[in-house]
Amino acid sequence: MEFTAAQIAGLLNGEVIGNPDASVSALAKIEEGQAGALSFLSNPKYEPFIYTTGSSICIVNQTFEPSKALPSTLTLIKVADAYACFAQLLALYDSMNKKEAIIEQPSFIHETAQIGENVYIGAFAYIGANVKIADNCQIHPHVVIQDNASVAEHSIIYPSVNIYKDCQIGARCIIHAGTVIGSDGFGFAPDENGVYSKIPQIGNVVIEDDVEIGSNCSIDRATMGSTFIRKGVKIDNLCQIAHNVDVDQHTAMAAQVGIAGSAKIGKHVMIGGQTGIAGHLSIADHTKIVAQSGIPSTVKKADTLMGTPAIPINDYKRSHFGFRKLPGLINKIYDLENQLKELLKNKEA
């Protein structure tokens, strides 16, 4: 579909600078722009590209003033926040590519499953007994949803996701390919001979509304009760969340984060990639954790933490500066020891 600059400005409450009839039918990065493409500029680092871009329309901040001549083929749309407005357009573009409501074959849907209206179910999907799938959901090919699980309205489950029995997925959630929801928690009890016996994991996973989970994540079911992923949480690819963890609202974690069992993560926490969090602890709301950190104990007060074990970032920087000086300090100690030995030797002589 094509949109004119005037139409886009109307959607974004923006101001057209240039040709209001300029039209676009594609999206492109500003450095890769071509005729008929829409781009945006928010980071000053990319400003040089706006003077050479081939895009037909570019969304910019109201404060943007060109320092030299722009391409004659370029029309600007000035808005309050170029990045947010472009994200809004991306969401609109994505919604236009929604899958058609259809149940593809072959697929298996148990006779007791409840399927809402305007639902897409891809080929080779498996929908078990008493499953509930609400209106406007997309269940892509090779998804498995086991007995008694539920998916609320407008959620998207991408290919090869496995949702185990009794698990609950909220509204407007997005779960990317290969993720497993509700696999057994890592629960084993050793006997007197050190032989491990499996502890049955009879709980479930509850994912609340507006959660997005990346590809190839694993979220374990609770031993008893529920593992909770609360409203608005964002989880990157390749994360592991163990049994009985509770991740509170609007927390975000980058790839390869691992959270051990029964940890309680607060609201609006930001967790960098490859961070490891021990079990049976809690992390205060609004805490920020730098990538590759290790959290071995409870964080009672919001701070920015770094290192293993993680400490406040400014303390870590000072410690790291001291650590880098250690080789020189060690050499100085050796020199002092040798000088002391020489003094003692001369004194005894």
Catalytic positions: 243
Both structure tokens of 272: 């960098």
How far apart, in whole angstroms, are the C-alpha atoms of residue 244 and residue 262?
5
Q: What does DSSP say about strands 75-79 and 26-27: parallel, antiparallel, or unpaired?
A: unpaired
Cβ-proximal residues to 4 (8 Å cutoff; 6+ apart), any chain:
20, 21, 22, 23
Range list of β-strands (E), 81-173:
108-109, 114-115, 120-121, 126-127, 132-133, 138-139, 144-145, 150-151, 156-157, 162-163, 168-169
Burial degree of 274 (CB within 10 A; 0-12, 13-18, 19+): middle
Cβ-proximal residues to 345 (8 Å cutoff; 6+ apart), any chain:
none
Closest of 181, 258, 189, 270 to residue 227, by C-alpha? 181
What residues are paired with 23 via a beta bridge?
Answer: 4
Neighbour tally for 106: CB within 10 Å: 7
- 3 state DSSP class of 68: coil
Closest of 136, 219, 141 to residue 171, by C-alpha? 136
Both structure tokens of 211: 């959660």
How far apart, in whole angstroms, are the C-alpha atoms of residue 94 and residue 54?
23
- 3 state DSSP class of 237: coil
What DSSP character marks residue 309?
Answer: T
Q: What does DSSP say about strands 204-207 and 168-169: parallel, antiparallel, or unpaired?
A: parallel
